[in-house]
Amino acid sequence: MTAVSVRNVWKEYDGRIVLEQVSLEVEPHSFIALVGPSGCGKSTFLRMLLSAETPTKGDILFEGERLPGEPTADRGVVFQRYSVFPHLTVLENVVLGKEFAASPLLGKLFGKARKRAREEAAEILTAVGLGDFLHLYPSQLSGGMQQRLAIAQALIKRPKILLLDEPFGALDPGIRAEIHVLMLKLWRETRMTVFMVTHDLSEAFHLGTRVIAFDRPRNRPEERDRYGATITHDLAVWPPKYPVSDTHIASGGTTRLLDELEALPGRPGVGH
């Protein structure tokens, strides 16, 4: 069974082709890292998975069904910025997802239901390491803590797919390493399928079970508008992370694959 099936998807903006001939089958509980140069459409691809944008041509199926035309609660997201609501405290940011589901009219819970939702939210926040900061506003948090909050906020909806758009790009290396450990742990526990756009190849191989590279096979100035980017590399990461235990992937494996990607011939033609 495939969790996500992308069938010959194209994306155009005003006649300018951004993505073409993108096809992809993704197993459930994969961790897909999307890499590629700036402007190669990998974020556009992620937004299409989110239904924040629709493909010009082609279909994206999720568990055999075509994606709905707008974002839904079964697909969570963490952006690089603006992922959390500045007017709510850490706890309120996470409770919000519960409140939307339980209270259609006011979007707010009271009494016992409120207490239960807050306890569940606090539990998730403790799991991502924010247990001591429940009543701060996002602007009082560091960048890494804000991203942890954004992850917790998405997790309370128990999404089947988690979409990450350069989530750790703005974090310094130490914080990033910590949040990588957390991310792998959450991925294993929740059995979500994760798509992550990143600029960082080592991050891609460290976290991903599969690394997908987007690029423009034809990139001369006169070709840019008429030929889009597509998937140029599709690499399974070795050793497989799942159902492997929670130890870190052997660094040897990562390095070897990094070398391999670097050594691959640049931009082979489409369909080769």
Partner 1 sequence: MDRAGGRPAVMRKRMINVYPTRGAALFLAALPFLLLLLAYLAGSAARLADNPDDKLLPSFASIGAGFARMAFEADPRTGDVLLWVDTAASLARLLAGLAIATVMAGVFGIAIGLVPFVRTTFNGFVAVIAMIPPLAILPILFIIFGLGETSKVALIVIGVAPVVMRDMILRVDEMPRELMVKAQTLGASTWQIALRVVVPQMMPRLIDSVRLSLCSAWLFLIAAEAIASQSGLGYRIFLLRRYLAMDTILPYVAWITLLAFALDFGLRRLQGKAFPWFAQGRT
For residue 172, give Cα distances in angstroms to 165, 179, 206, 211.
17, 11, 16, 23
Which residue type does 212 have? I
The answer to whether residue 69 forms part of the interface with partner 1 (CB under 8 A) is no
Each residue 82-101 as x (binds partner 1 by CB under 8 A) or -, in order, gives: xxxxxxx-------xx-xxx
The answer to whether residue 139 forms part of the interface with partner 1 (CB under 8 A) is yes
Interface of this chain with partner 1, residues 146 to 175, rule: CB under 8 A = 150, 153-154, 157, 159
Q: Is the peptide bond before 138 cis (omega within 30 degrees of 0)?
A: no
The answer to whether residue 104 forms part of the interface with partner 1 (CB under 8 A) is yes
Cβ-proximal residues to 126 (8 Å cutoff; 6+ apart), any chain:
none
The answer to whether residue 247 forms part of the interface with partner 1 (CB under 8 A) is no
Q: Would you say 34 or 257 has its CB closer to partner 1?
A: 34
Q: Would you say 168 or 205 has its CB closer to partner 1?
A: 168
Among 8, 73, 113, 264, binds partner 1 (CB under 8 A): 73
Kindly report the length of the chain: 272
The answer to whether residue 77 forms part of the interface with partner 1 (CB under 8 A) is yes
Task: Please give the order of strands across the beta sheet that includes 16-26.
Answer: 16-26, 4-13, 57-62, 65-66
Residue 106: phi and psi, rounded to 5, are -105, -20
Distance of closest approach, residue 175 Cβ to partner 1, in angstroms: 21
Q: Would you say 106 or 263 has its CB closer to partner 1?
A: 106
Say what angle helices 111-127 and 143-155 make with each other, to 10 degrees: 130
The answer to whether residue 133 forms part of the interface with partner 1 (CB under 8 A) is no
Round to whole Å and give the CA distance between 154 and 218: 37
Residues that bind partner 1 (CB under 8 A): 50, 52, 70-73, 75-77, 79, 81-88, 96-97, 99-101, 104-108, 137-140, 150, 153-154, 157, 159
